[in-house]
């Protein structure tokens, strides 16, 4: 019985330590996000230096130095990747002005999945490439159908990444550029395989 109590106590202690680590890690990530806000794309190197400064403040007890460094490098890559995504985006206000929509109308389109946005806290960053100002609704033709086909994708960030980066399935072209060229059904077909959605 004593051994059981000791074991249970040890288990609780490990759970507590794990919980503390998660809290510390969340705090570390929030400080990275705070440093991201307001930076321009050309300040990427300054961003990396900022991350390194935060690393020195991070004192969570990871199992090994190797694991700690691997986690840190991964967070650096994710932070820079997110910054790259945001560099081609409009603010909520800029998008509303470009589309000549009220704030309410733009928010409704985002909520309905007609316009895709990257969230950073309470702010929206909206990729400019989804707009075609020559179209009557100012949207790239077929994009709404592609987004519906990807409705089960894990996040809007995943959708933005897939649409805006060169992909082997389209001879190295970006899916959004393939969509602009009029190959709507092809893009939808691939989008369905990724997102598990339907038209």
Give 6-25 pLDDT, tens digit per residue.
Answer: 444 445 444 444 555 555 66
Q: Which H helix or E strand runs over 197? A: none
Residue-wise pLDDT tens digits, 26-85 = 666 666 666 666 655 555 556 666 666 666 555 555 456 677 667 666 666 666 556 666
Dump the DSSP string for 20-73. HHHHHHHHHHHHHHHHHTT--GGGHHHHHHHHHHHHHH-----S-HHHHHHHHH
Confidence tier at 3 by pLDDT (50, 70, 90): very low
Q: What is the pLDDT of residue 6?
A: 46
DSSP letter (8 states) at residue 91: E
Q: What is the pLDDT of residue 89?
A: 87
Is pLDDT of 121 > 90?
A: no
Residue-wise pLDDT tens digits, 123-162 = 888 999 999 999 988 999 999 999 988 887 667 888 888 8
Q: What is the pLDDT of residue 9?
A: 47
Dump the DSSP string for 108-166. HHHHTTSS--EEETTEEEEEGGGB-TTSTTSB-TTHHHHHHHTTTSS-HHHHHHHHHS-
Q: What is the pLDDT of residue 179?
A: 95
Q: What is the pLDDT of residue 193?
A: 81
**Quick check: helix, strand or coil at residue 90?**
strand
pTM, rounded to two decimals: 0.57
For residues 165-191, average pLDDT: 91
Q: What angle do CA 102, 106, 110 make, to 5 degrees?
A: 170
């Amino acid at each position: 019985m004593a051994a059981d109590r000791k074991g249970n106590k040890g288990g609780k202690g490990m759970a507590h330590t794990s919980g503390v680590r998660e809290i510390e890690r969340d705090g570390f990530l929030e400080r990275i996000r705070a440093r991201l806000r307001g930076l321009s794309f050309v300040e990427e190197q300054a961003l990396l230096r900022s991350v390194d400064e935060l690393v020195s403040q991070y004192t969570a007890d990871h199992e090994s130095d190797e694991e700690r460094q691997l986690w840190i490098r991964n967070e650096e890559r994710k932070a820079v990747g997110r910054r790259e995504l945001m560099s081609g985006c409009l603010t909520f206000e800029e998008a509303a002005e470009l589309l000549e929509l009220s704030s309410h109308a733009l928010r409704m389109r985002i909520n309905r999945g007609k316009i895709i946005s990257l969230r950073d806290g309470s702010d929206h960053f909206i990729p400019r490439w989804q707009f075609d100002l020559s179209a009557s609704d100012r949207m790239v033709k077929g994009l709404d159908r592609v987004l519906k086909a990807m409705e089960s994708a894990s996040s809007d960030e995943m959708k933005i990444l897939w649409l805006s980066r060169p992909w082997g399935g389209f001879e190295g072209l970006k899916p959004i550029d393939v969509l602009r060229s009029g190959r709507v059904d092809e893009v939808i077909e691939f989008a369905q395989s990724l997102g598990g959605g339907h038209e």
